[in-house]
């Protein structure tokens, strides 16, 4: 009986243990509440406000990385796994990145490393790599658990590779593809 209770407690503790992604999400919202109190938690931020949030944050490179990768993942799940999106959104409360042009649609996460405004020079890819790996890995574990089907993960990764090629400038695309390849996808 004692062993059973210990097993139940261990499983419950594992279920409620914060992952690195959970801590990054919490950090993002704490920073945004402190630095940019006009942001609404249930939504996100307009692309025109990204630098006003990133620059004064406690870790600007981490903030840029969390925003770019979490927005990318959120948009991927919304677009390509729509039937699972509500559950995914409950699990991962990622920020949205609204388009400044109309504040109705979403902006592309490539905005955060866009060379025209010099944002590409603000990204330290070496420091971004482990943050991005944690975000992708935790989300891929969740995606695998949606139906207990590893095919969802491979489908996500293949679509992600295509989206990166289409949406990101060459340097950022190369860096993101290197991250994805470490998760089980290769650049074909």
pLDDT digits (tens, 9 = 90+) for 43-88: 888 888 899 999 999 999 999 999 999 999 999 999 999 999 999 9
CA distance 3 to 93: 35
Q: How confident is the model at residue 100 (pLDDT cuts 50, 70, 90)?
A: confident
Residue 114: what are its φ and ψ, rounded to 5°?
Answer: -75, 125
pLDDT, averaged across the chain: 86
pTM: 0.85
Can you list the pairs that 173-179 forms with residues at least 24 positions away whose Cβ atoms lie under 8 Å? 175/125, 175/128, 175/129, 176/132, 178/129, 179/129, 179/132, 179/133, 179/136
The encoded tokens of residue 127 equal: 């420091």
pLDDT of residue 42: 60
More confident residue, 147 or 168: 168
pLDDT of residue 15: 54
pLDDT of residue 109: 94
């Amino acid at each position: 009986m004692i062993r059973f209770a210990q097993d139940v407690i261990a499983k419950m503790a594992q279920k409620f243990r914060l992952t690195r992604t959970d801590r990054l999400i919490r950090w993002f919202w704490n920073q945004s509440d402190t630095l940019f109190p006009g942001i609404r938690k249930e939504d996100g931020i307009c692309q025109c406000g990204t630098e006003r949030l990133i620059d004064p944050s406690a870790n600007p490179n981490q903030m840029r990385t969390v925003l770019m990768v979490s927005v990318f993942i959120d948009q991927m799940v919304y677009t390509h796994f729509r039937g699972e999106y509500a559950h995914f959104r409950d699990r991962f409360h990622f920020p949205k990145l609204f388009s400044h042009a109309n504040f109705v649609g979403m902006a592309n996460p490539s905005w955060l490393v866009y060379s025209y405004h010099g944002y590409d020079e603000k990204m330290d890819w070496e420091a971004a790599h482990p943050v991005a790996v944690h975000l992708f890995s935790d989300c891929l574990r969740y995606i695998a658990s949606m139906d207990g089907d590893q095919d969802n993960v491979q489908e996500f990764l293949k679509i992600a590779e295509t989206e990166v090629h289409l949406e990101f400038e060459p340097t950022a695309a190369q860096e993101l593809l290197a991250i994805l390849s470490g998760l089980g996808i290769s650049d074909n």
